[in-house]
Amino acid sequence: MTDNVWMLWPSREALSREGVHRARRALAGVARVFAVGVLLVTTFADSDLHGWGVAGAVLGVLVCGLGVWGFWRATLEHRLLPSLGSLVLLFAIATVAEGAGLRVPALVVWCVCAVSAMERLPLAAALPAGAVALGTYAAVNNDAWLTTLATTVGLALAGYVLRLDAEARGSALRLLAQERAARAAEAESAALAERARIAREIHDVLAHSLSAQLVHLEAARLLIERGAERDQILDRVVAARGMAREGLAETRQALSALRGELSPLEEFLSELVADTAGADVTVTGERRLLPAEASQAVRRVAQEALTNVRKHAPGAKIRIRLDYGEHEVMLNVRDSGAPPGEFTHSGAGYGLLGMRERAELLGGSLEAGPYEEGFVVTLKVPV
């Protein structure tokens, strides 16, 4: 159900001075003070007021100012009866001024009431109030009827134009407030996403590294309690130390990623296979900078795939292909399989399951499985 346009008030943003440029506000204030000053000086200079008459006129000016202020406050708060009461007070002051021979101030007050009513009241109240004020103005004014008609129509249009201008400014202020709220919500969402990314990086690196170290150290403790040989204990300690070094390196890499200091993917992959015999890297497509999360996912999957090859199929040939597509980047890591008798125990790495979850969080996919005599891992990430 829509609101009745005749009963709608102009918005509070439109009725207030919010959003009005300081220079425009100052210019309007100077113009009002100048107009009121000229009107008062002209009125008192040309009138025959003396003694109590002057005091009454001054009191009328003060009451008139109070009525204008009351009308402005009442309309700002969307209070109809007080607003109409202020207009009635101003009408009464103008009528008294007309009876005292102060026709020009009376005409000005009626004109101000008409324009203000059209600008600040609901149309259902503005039209009758404006009609009364302009009708009284037309009845009292001594100008030619055509001049009076043009003046009354012009005043009514001026009030309505001011109303439209104020409403446009109010709409602009509301849109600006909504845009600021949307930006704040977007910034908060981005901050939460960044926190989630940092938490994921820390979990992927430190949780695995520390848990693996604990496993090796616990095994070393049990070996010591059982009186195992020195070499067995040393192997576990060395393995724990190796995991600590790998975890430290991974942590540094994660921090570099969070700071946006990652090396290009091509350079990273080349360094990754630098010490691996029979490994090569192929890059196709238009090379470009990837988002941090996509770049980090590619790096982690490449590391995990190579770790698995070294532990599951040592000596196998490795082919890494990085393809920059128009809408996605694809990483393909394929090995030729382990020579007979060279298969070793399954080992650490971050786990293809965790890498698949990381890819799915980015809207991508990860597939891993046997391929001919070897194993292939394929990652696709939208960019």
SS (H, E, C) 160-212: HHHHHHHHHHHHHHHHHHHHHHHHHHHHHHHHHHHHHHHHHHHHHHHHHHHHH
pLDDT of residue 330: 92
- What are the residues facing 284 on neighbouring strands? 323
Q: How far apart are CA 296 and CA 3, in angstroms?
A: 54
Instruction: Please check the confidence at residue 349 and state whether its pLDDT lies above 50.
Output: no
Could you identify the residue written with the tokens 């698995």? 308
Give the orientation angle of helix 145-202 with respect to helix 103-120, to 10 degrees: 40
pLDDT digits (tens, 9 = 90+) for 46-64: 566 566 666 776 777 788 8
Kindly report the average pLDDT of the chain as a whole number: 80
pTM of the model: 0.50
Which of the two residues, 82 and 371, has the higher pLDDT score? Answer: 82
Q: How far apart are CA 365 and CA 295, in angstroms?
A: 14
CA atoms within 13 A on the CB side of 382: 5
Mean pLDDT of 16-30: 72
Instruction: Please check the confidence at residue 343 and state whether its pLDDT lies above 70.
Output: no
pLDDT of residue 297: 84
pLDDT of residue 205: 67
Model confidence band, residue 44 (pLDDT cutoffs 50, 70, 90): low
Could you identify the residue written with the tokens 């040309």? 46
Instruction: Please check the confidence at residue 345 and state whether its pLDDT lies above 80.
Output: no
Q: How far apart are CA 216 and CA 67, in angstroms?
A: 87
pLDDT digits (tens, 9 = 90+) for 303-315: 888 878 877 777 7
pLDDT digits (tens, 9 = 90+) for 238-286: 888 877 877 777 777 666 666 665 667 888 888 878 777 778 889 998 8
pLDDT of residue 1: 40
pLDDT of residue 314: 78
Mean pLDDT of 192-210: 71
% pLDDT > 90, the chain:
5
Instruction: Kindly give, in sequence order, each residue whose CB lies less than 8 Å from that of residue 335, ignoring residues fewer than 6 positions away.
Output: 309, 313, 316, 317, 318, 319, 374, 375, 376
Instruction: Please check the confidence at residue 143 and state whether its pLDDT lies above 80.
Output: no
Mean pLDDT of 68-97: 88
Mean pLDDT of 34-47: 64
Could you identify the residue written with the tokens 């249009």? 157
Residue-range domains of the chain with CATH: 19-142 (no CATH), 264-383 (3.30.565.10)
Which of the two residues, 133 and 195, has the higher pLDDT score? Answer: 133
Mean pLDDT of 204-220: 77
Mean pLDDT of 336-359: 61
Mean pLDDT of 165-186: 85
Model confidence band, residue 41 (pLDDT cutoffs 50, 70, 90): low
CB atoms near residue 284 (< 10 Å): 11
Instruction: Please check the confidence at residue 102 and state whether its pLDDT lies above 70.
Output: yes
Instruction: Please check the confidence at residue 138 and state whether its pLDDT lies above 70.
Output: yes
Instruction: Please check the confidence at residue 176 and state whether its pLDDT lies above 80.
Output: yes
Which pair of structure tokens corresponds to residue 292?
């941090």
Asked if residue 325 lies in contact with residue 288, where contact means CB atoms within 8 angstroms, the answer is no
Model confidence band, residue 331 (pLDDT cutoffs 50, 70, 90): very high
Instruction: Please check the confidence at residue 342 and state whether its pLDDT lies above 70.
Output: no
pLDDT of residue 231: 85
Instruction: Please check the confidence at residue 338 and state whether its pLDDT lies above 70.
Output: no
| Contacts by residues 343-347 (CB-CB < 8 Å, ≥ 24 positions apart) | 343/312, 343/313, 344/311, 344/312, 344/314, 345/311, 346/311, 346/312, 347/307, 347/308, 347/311, 347/312
Q: Where are the alpha helices (DSSP H) in 20-144?
A: 22-46, 52-76, 80-99, 103-120, 123-140
Which pair of structure tokens corresponds to residue 48?
């025959």
- What are the residues facing 334 on neighbouring strands? 319, 376
